[in-house]
Chain A
């Protein structure tokens, strides 16, 4: 048991290392992603200012700009990763090793979250510095807890998707491409999610960013009143979602690996 646990930790650490230190070597990509996030955020802030909305809208946009890189990392850096690993020829080596697939994915998630954190903090810093947005930290531990639980839930969802990608390959890739923008809208990255209306909110609540962002806005922007639910309820829902995603992910990875070995999907590229 101890041996298995150590194997899991070592695999997690090694895979996270690639994400954290390896990607730092691609400086142009880091700069481009920070600037991209910043300009998207700037567009919405200028739009709200043009419309004459209250200053709290700038705050909620900056928080959206802070969380969006995490969502993109989950979609393109975790959910699609096994597909990429297969195309690069790494998946075979990962599977031939004694390490469980879940260890690779948790490593990817931890490394991805840490790497993305730097980009997100840069976006947050530029948002505050350039647009003079002010946040009031009413309760820092609660805000940190909400943030961490949101990440746990988001990356859990990413791991669930990764098993689907492994089995369905390019079909799933196109689907992810298709759902990216609608999901961005549903998660209310740059506007209060409550404006979606009750029907859409039911679906949107399954995306952890939606409730996570809403809770963070309540905790960091006191003048933000158009909340979906009280942040405490949102935190509980996020914990529940995270646990459900973790359970599904664990089952799906085992099941998909078996099916992929049966149907030769681990070795066929460009399927």
Chain B
């Protein structure tokens, strides 16, 4: 059994009085293997959180089927719940009057853990997130980053098979984000029967952590592949930024000749050195050596060159048609 999660033709419709039914998910299918960190990317209202709520037994599907560790989330939810944990970004769960240690112990009891086992794991993970010294601090006195680290520990202490991370680094500073990402990565590597489902607004985070990502929009899966594959599928051309000391008649004739072969160029000026700059979109990777040699042959000296790699954000933008920052829709699930 290598499949941690199987989602088959999942549809969820929200019916509201006085408004047309809202289709949050329209026949979504994907699967997640054990040992995998799987990313769900999409703008607000795309259906990410609805999918997570269904997978974590908080919401029933309108149609379709979801299994977690082989158990149906609709019918066998009592078997699913001991195996999962949910951590949401910006979470203010728990009780401010409890200390960090008490809060984590309380949640461990909801999973039936024996107190000595729970205390040992709490100590282990609090040390991992560098919060052991803060264990007696009250929850309402913690910073956002510290609180999110406690939430992460809360999710890990019960040793789930599937960890749902819904925007885990939302509103968290860079240092805490790096720690959280590192812990999640190590946690999955530690045991092969663990897996993580991640939704995030940070493309770099998904790129860094996920072995596969699904891009979802308007309740439909637009793509489901490894981040490298998504970027590769975006554009097969090679992209370079080149700065030279001069770009006049002879060099421009050379560029025109390259353009006749199907290559594209954008001319500009380097903002730092004020030297002429070229952004070259080349049909073949090998064309870059030919271009540089030819420019040198025409009397231009190369000052600077770098290869431009497409990002996951570019892939997202191409498929969804807008960036995360341009979001307008609001999910019916908050």
Q: A97-B110, A98-B78 are in contact. Are A261 and B333 (CB under 8 A)?
A: no
Stretch of A4-12, A42-50, A130-138, A181-189 on the interface side: A4-12
Q: Is B58 an interface residue (CB 8 A)?
A: yes
A92 touches B (CB below 8 Å):
yes
In this complex, the interface size class of chain A, counting residues with CB under 8 Å from chain B, is 20 to 34
Binds B, one of A18-26, A215-223, A236-244: A18-26
Task: Determine whether B102 belongs to the interface, using a CB cutoff of 8 Å to chain A.
Answer: yes
- The listed residue (A3, A89, A264, A267) touching B93 by CB distance below 8 A is A89
Q: Which residues of B contact A98 (CB under 8 A)?
A: 78, 81-82, 110-112
In the complex, A128→B85 CA distance in Å? 51
A6→B102 CA distance, assembly (Å): 19
For the complex, would chain B's binding face be called helix, strand, loop or mixed by DSSP majority?
Answer: loop
- Report the minimal beta-carbon distance from A61 to chain B, rounded to whole angstroms: 33
Does A178 interact with chain B (Cβ within 8 Å)? no
Are B97 and A25 in contact, with the CB atoms below 8 A?
yes
In the complex, the answer to whether A6 meets B112 with C-beta atoms within 8 Å is yes
Question: Considering the chains assembled together, what is the distance between the CA atoms of A22 and B109 in angstroms?
Answer: 16
Pairwise interchain contact A22-B332, C-beta atoms closer than 8 A: no
Q: Any chain B CB within 8 A of the CB of A94? A: yes
Verify if B30 is at the interface (C-beta below 8 Å from A). Answer: no
Contact status B111-A97, CB under 8 Å: yes
Q: State whether B59 touches A264 (Cβ < 8 A).
A: yes
A262–B53 CA distance with the chains assembled, in angstroms: 12
Q: Is the CB of A268 within 8 A of B334?
A: yes
Q: How far is the CB of B87 from chain A (nearest CB, A)?
A: 9
* Residue pair B91, A89 in contact (C-beta under 8 Å): yes
Interface residues of B in 317-334 (CB under 8 A from A): 332-334
**Is B304 engaged at the interface, CB distance under 8 Å to the other chain?**
no
Within the assembled complex, what's the spacing in Å between the Cα atoms of A98 and B105? 15
A6, A88, A268: the one within 8 Å of B333 (CB): A268
Interface string of B107-139 (1 = CB under 8 A from A): 101111100000000000000000000000010
**Which single residue of chain A is at the shortest CB-CB distance from B151?**
A93
Query: Residue-by-residue, is B299-330 near A (CB-CB < 8 Å gives 1, otherwise 0)?
Result: 00000000000000000000000000000000
**Distance in Å: Cβ of A119 to nearest Cβ of chain B:** 17
Is the CB–CB distance between A267 and B110 below 8 Å? no
Q: How far is the CA of A4 from the CA of B14 in the complex (A)?
A: 34
A21 CA to B107 CA in the complex, in Å?
A: 16
Contacts of A90 in B (CB 8 A): 93-95
Q: Which residue of A lies closest to B105 (CB)?
A: A14
**Are B56's CB and A96's CB within 8 A?**
yes
* Among B59, B92, B113, contact of A89 (Cβ-Cβ < 8 Å): B92
Give the CA-CA distance A18 to B98 in the complex, in Å: 7
The docked-state distance in angstroms from the alpha carbon of A15 to that of B110 is 9
Within the complex, which residue of B59, B88, B109 is in contact with A11, where a contact is CB–CB below 8 Å? B109
Contact A95-B58, Cβ < 8 Å, known A90-B93, A264-B333, A268-B333: yes
How far in angstroms is the closest Cβ of chain B from A30? 12
Interface string of B70-100 (1 = CB under 8 A from A): 0000000010011011101001111101100
A-B pairs, top 7 by smallest CB distance, nearest first, are A14-B109, A7-B112, A97-B110, A22-B97, A98-B82, A10-B109, A89-B93
- Give 12 pairs: A residue, B residue, CB < 8 Å, sorted on A: A10-B112, A14-B106, A18-B98, A89-B88, A89-B92, A92-B88, A93-B107, A96-B57, A96-B84, A97-B107, A98-B78, A98-B110
Query: Besides A89-B88, A95-B81, A264-B53, 8 other CB < 8 A contacts?
Result: A11-B110, A17-B106, A89-B92, A94-B110, A96-B58, A96-B81, A96-B85, A98-B78
